Amino acid sequence: MKAEATSFYEWQKRFATDAKCLMHLKDLRWPTGFQCSHCGHNHGYCVASLDRYECAQCHRQSSVLSGTLFHATKLPLTKWFWAIYWVSSDKGGISALRLAKLIGVTWRTAYRLLGKLRTAMGHRDSLYRLTDIIELDDALVGGKQPGKRGRGAQGKVSVLVACENRDGKPGYLALEATPSVNRQTLLDFAKRRIRAGQTVRTDGLFANQSLQAHVTHVSQITPPKMATEWLPWVHVVIANLKRYLLGTYHGTGKHYLQDYLNEFCYRFNRR
């Protein structure tokens, strides 16, 4: 069941208790039935609590929640599932303050919960590699500050943006905050997020030449007014990202920026 495709009432009804939430997670972890992570045996029995199973062969215990974002949580699973619903269904993003009010927890608890959910979103998307024709550029995000403008501006953080261009339509997106934009950071980003040998379009920034070691690189020096024609989708993404950060979160600190990028990217890739 997808959160965005159902009402909150239906979601609550399906996951009304911690036991129901736990059974759902158990089915996701062991879709064909219990399997011991130590010896591979497929028979076990529940011990102590509903989330812990003991292997009938090696007698090692496995928890349904171990290794997941719910591991060792003190928050009821029902509230976790409520949070997942609101984060998934609110297309504009949700702040910790609003989430705290919706699920009945403190702001600090909601903030930590959102951080874990965003990390999980980022991990899921990091498994995918962009293909075909990809537009790549960098952007600066952060509030307005006096002094230098552009790269190296005080109070700004650089974000690398890569978006598939599928016959004139946007495909999958990858976003990463970076301390600086140079040959090495660009190449490392491409190796992490783009499949080798694909075609990557960029502007004329000299550092982009390092991409040739991993992809087919096509660069073009364009005046600012023409940039949106050469790299249309990354510019749309950058504009939407800045509105998203300012509108929903009223800006964000550099230490947590990647979490917000993860959420934005996750939503974009499942639009």
| Pairing assessment for the beta strands 133-141 and 199-202 based on DSSP bridges | parallel
- Residue ranges, the chain, pLDDT below 70: 1-5, 48, 143-155, 247-253
pLDDT at position 270 is 87
pLDDT given at position 155 = 64
Name 162's bridge partners: 136, 174
The verdict on 97 and 146 lying in the same domain is no
Q: Is 159 helix (H, G, I), strand (E, B) or coil?
A: strand
- Where does 47-200 have alpha helices with state H? 77-89, 96-103, 107-126, 183-193
Do residues 180 and 81 both lie within one domain? no
* Of the residues 105, 126, 147, the one at which a domain ends: 126
Domain boundary among 104, 126, 148: 126
pLDDT at residue number 249: 57
Residues 103 and 61 in one domain: yes
Quote the number of domains for the chain.
Answer: 2
> Are residues 198 and 120 part of one domain?
no
Percent of the chain's residues with pLDDT above 70: 90
Q: Report the CATH number at residue 208.
A: 3.30.420
219 lies in which domain range? 133-268
Summarize pLDDT for 204-254 with one digit per residue, the tens. 999 999 999 999 999 999 888 888 899 999 999 999 999 988 866 555 667
C-alpha distances in angstroms, 163 versus 101, 129, 233?
35, 11, 7
Domain boundary among 126, 151, 175: 126
**Residue 93: what residue type?**
G
Its sign, for the CA torsion 227, 232, 234, 235, is positive
pLDDT at 140: 94
115 and 180: one domain?
A: no
